Amino acid sequence: MQTKSGQKTLERVISKAGLGSRTQARSWIHAGRVRVNGKIVENPDHWIDFDRDRVLFDDKPLQVRDRVYLLLNKPAGYITTFKDPERRPTVYDLITGVDTFVSPVGRLDLETSGLLILTNDTQFAERLTNPDHRISKTYLVRCESVLPDGALEQLRRGVSLNDGPTRPAEVRRREGTEVEIAITEGRNRQVRRMIEAVGSKVADLRRVRIGGLGIGGLAEGSWRELNAGEIGALGGREVRR
């Protein structure tokens, strides 16, 4: 959320600084741990101009941390939220040791594995997730049945879902019941719903590429930092060190 003048809410400023999630930021603000221009502010929706207002967290100046870009090979069985009321494992359990709060760029559902980017660069994340930028996300899909050629053509043209028609997808048949699908949208469980729309179901789903960035030889459950060339190729900015 952002005003015309470029201000942001206090919770957004704290989260964007890399200290924690927006939910955590709200709890810290309510607890009176944040001062703005010398005064305790307990309203997370208080508007801040970070270039002009002095923000203290636990009486220390709030500073925007270096931008961080991580590539994680997410296993199935992990969710892409910070905390889960059902106490299921989350992707944050896999990136211990990262001292800056990062957010997933888009989501992979519980049973989907593969390439997940996490970052504290909100503009970079918006570029990758906004369908207007048409950055492709490529998945390997093992279906419960072999898709006939007609079904593949339907996917290439676009199929009708309950939230509207999909854009045309790039589709390539692989061995057996496996197909490769590249889409430029990111709707909830979109690939699974597309496969159901052409008469089958997904048995296994793995994201292997975003734009030109592939999962490579990264072991499942492991992560690494993106290098400057990878960040630039995806439209990110130079990383401050």
Residues assigned a catalytic role: 109
Instruction: Report d(CA 149, CA 60) in Å as an integer.
Output: 62
Instruction: Report d(CA 238, CA 199) in Å as an integer.
Output: 45
Instruction: Report d(CA 58, CA 131) in Å as an integer.
Output: 39
Instruction: Report d(CA 111, CA 139) in Å as an integer.
Output: 13
Number of Cβ within a 10 Å radius of residue 73: 22
Residue 180 buriedness (CB in 10 A; 0-12 / 13-18 / 19+):
middle
Instruction: Report d(CA 160, CA 143) in Å as an integer.
Output: 19
